[in-house]
Amino acid sequence: MATEAHTPDRKPHVPVLLRPLLRAVAPVEGVWIDGTFGAGGYARGLLEAGADKVIGIDRDPLAHRMAADWIGDFAGRLELAEANFAEMDKVASGVDGVVLDLGVSSMQLDLAERGFSFMRDGPLDMRMSQDGPSAADLVNEAGEAELANILYVYGEERASRRIAKSIVRARAEAPITRTLQLAELVESCLPRSKPGQSHPATRSFQALRIAVNDEYGALYQGLMAAERALRPGGLLAVVSFHSVEDRMVKRFLQVRAGQTGNANRYAPVLETEKPQFDLVTRKAVGPDKDELDENPRARSAKLRVARRTDAPAGEVDAAAIATPQIKGTR
Ligand SMILES: C[S@@+](CC[C@H](N)C(=O)[O-])C[C@H]1O[C@@H](n2cnc3c(N)ncnc32)[C@H](O)[C@@H]1O
């Protein structure tokens, strides 16, 4: 989900849904993991609200470099770790709270050289961690069916097959290496967008970004890692930006709070184990009117909060929490 970076004058920004999040987890105490540190807005908010310590995890080395000039403001109360939140329990456990603010930051989106944006020309990269295969590798090497699946499942792009075919045709002539090269190619496959509609390449870029960073795999693993990392009574707060992410968080919390019922009436009734979470927010919390007036982009943000019980942590089936799966052909 997009958030604004610290401005050059170091004025901290107010990240999306921070106020409702701090209200939902009050009183803030003890040690918290911020699994999506980004520009540090949530970490700063938690520290200012009373957390003794925040462990900021981000897989983007840039987020850590950006924090270097203000981490000293919190003298020993802010620790950073370059890691994937899918493994947060290896960084810390027994913590009082975990926050996740999913997706990409506007700091990442705004830098052309990171290759996330269809508005700015840059290398077709999109890697948050800056290692592993890039979007260019995916676009130039994946089979046509896999590309179409990625665009359809991760981007909900209805013209997925047409775009995948066009990519495969274009790359036979010359590799696709630049963001604008891909954006123009996608645009050429779709009707011109009407005023007020999003850019035609929005869905394709979102899909590729999710695939390159295995965002849904990380979320699936990350929710289970949070379950392991939290002490009994500890709080999990997740802010999501897309319906697919929110559905995964909602389903995970329903399953772990023992609130799924028997979805399949033909399935045997399972011995119900003690739930790992109690729901704190029954429905997703969105931005209030003030936040929407300040930041219209916050309109799709959703917050869900749950409290860890003392039941042992365990495994959840990926399909049970609606984790989208791509059938690969590479
Ligand atoms: C929306 S931003 C978070 C913004 C932050 N709440 C703030 O106030 O500045 C998401 C951040 O999470 C990081 N991120 C996304 N997925 C991650 C993962 N699986 N592990 C670690 N960091 C991740 C991204 O690199 C990005 O910096």
> What is d(CA 304, CA 178) in angstroms, rounded to the nearest whole number?
37
pLDDT for res 329: 47
- Ligand 1 centre to CA of 144 (Å) is 30
Answer yes or no: is pLDDT of 269 > 60: no
pLDDT at 264 over 60: no
Residue 245 near ligand 1, beta carbon < 6 Å: no
42 is in an annotated binding site: yes
CB of 84 shorter than 6 A to ligand 1: yes
Strand partners, 56: 34, 80
Q: What is the mean pLDDT of residues 264-280?
A: 74
Q: Does 1 contact ligand 1 (Cβ within 6 A)?
A: yes
Q: How far apart are CA 38 and CA 4, in angstroms?
A: 9
Query: What is residue 267's predicted lDDT score, i.e. its pLDDT?
Result: 54
Q: In a mutational test of the pocket of ligand 1, which residue from 57, 58, 127 has the highest number of ligand atoms less than 8 Å from its CB? A: 58
The answer to whether 132 and 84 are in contact (CB under 8 A) is no
Q: pLDDT category, 297, cuts 50, 70, 90?
A: confident
218 lines ligand 1 (CB under 6 A): yes
Residue 18 has pLDDT above 90, yes or no: yes
Contact 141, 329 (CB under 8 A): no
Max CA-CA distance within the chain?
Answer: 61
Write the pLDDT tens digit of every residue in 229-240: 999 999 999 999
Torsion of CA 21, 24, 26, 28, to 10 degrees: -40
DSSP 239: E
pLDDT digits 0-9 by tens, 125-182: 999 999 999 999 999 999 999 999 999 999 999 999 999 999 999 999 999 999 999 9
pLDDT, tens digit, for every residue of 48-65? 999 999 999 999 999 999
Per-domain residue ranges for the chain?
A: 18-107+215-321, 130-212
Q: Decide if 314 contacts 249 (C-beta within 8 A).
A: no
Look over the chain and give the mean of its residue pLDDT values, rounded to a whole number: 92
In ligand 1, the atom with minimum distance to the C-alpha of 41 is 8
In the chain, what percentage of residues exceed pLDDT 90?
Answer: 84
Ligand 1 closest atom vs CA 40: 9
In this structure, are strands 95-101 and 230-240 parallel, antiparallel, or unpaired?
parallel
Say if residue 85 carries a ligand binding annotation: yes
Which residue's alpha carbon is at the smallest distance from atom 9 of ligand 1?
A: 39
Question: In angstroms, rounded to a whole number, what is the distance separating the alpha carbons of residues 190 and 195?
Answer: 15
Residue owning tokens 């996608």:
186
Residue 273 binned pLDDT confidence (cut-offs 50, 70, 90): confident
Long-range contact pairs involving 256-263 (C-beta distance under 8 Å, separation at least 24): 256/227, 256/306, 256/316, 257/306, 260/320
Q: Say how many Å lie between the CA of residue 195 and the centre of ligand 1.
A: 31
User: What whole-number distance in Å separates Cα of residue 91 and Cα of residue 82?
Assistant: 10
What integer pLDDT is reported at residue 88 of this predicted model?
98
Which pLDDT score is estimated for 4?
A: 38
Do 18-107+215-321 and 130-212 fold alike per CATH?
Answer: no
Q: Atom 20, ligand 1: which residue's CA is nearest?
A: 84
| 178 CA from centroid of ligand 1 (Å) | 24
Q: Give the CA distances from residue 264 to residues 254, 270, 287, in Å, rounded to whole numbers and listed in that order.
A: 15, 11, 34
Confidence category of residue 257, pLDDT binned at 50, 70, 90:
very high
* C-alpha pair distances (Å), 80 with each of 11, 41, 57, 69: 20, 14, 6, 13
42 pocket-lining for ligand 1 (C-beta < 6 Å): yes
Q: Where are the alpha helices (DSSP H) in the chain?
A: 18-25, 41-49, 61-67, 88-91, 106-110, 135-141, 144-155, 160-173, 179-189, 202-212, 215-229, 243-256, 289-294
For ligand 1, the distance from its centroid to the CA atom of residue 265, given in whole angstroms, is: 39
| Alpha carbon of 154 to ligand 1 centroid (Å) | 18
Ligand 1 atom nearest to 45, measured from its CA: 8
Q: Which atom of ligand 1 is nearest to the CA of 18?
A: 8
Ligand-binding annotation for 276, yes or no, is: no
122 is in an annotated binding site: no
Atom of ligand 1 nearest to the CA of 241: 1
Give the residues across from 274 on adjacent strands.
Answer: none
**What is the rounded CA–CA span in Å between residue 211 and residue 30?**
35
* CA–CA gap between residue 297 and residue 233 (Å, rounded): 33
Domain 18-107+215-321 has CATH 3.40.50.150: yes
Does residue 3 contact residue 105 with C-beta atoms inside 8 Å? yes
Question: Has 41 been labeled as part of a binding site?
Answer: yes
Token representation of residue 180: 């604008």
101 known ligand binder: yes
User: Is the pLDDT score of 92 beyond 90?
Assistant: yes
**Does the domain made of 130-212 have the CATH classification 1.10.150.170?**
yes
DSSP 196: T
Cβ neighbours of 130 (radius 10 Å): 12
Q: Given pLDDT bands bounded at 50, 70 and 90, which one contains residue 330?
A: very low
Mean pLDDT along residues 290-310: 94
pLDDT at 314 over 60: yes
- pLDDT tens readout for residues 214-226: 999 999 999 999 9
Residue 258, annotated as binding a ligand: no
Question: Residue 6's pLDDT is what?
Answer: 37
Task: Say whether 6 sits in a helix, a strand or coil.
Answer: coil
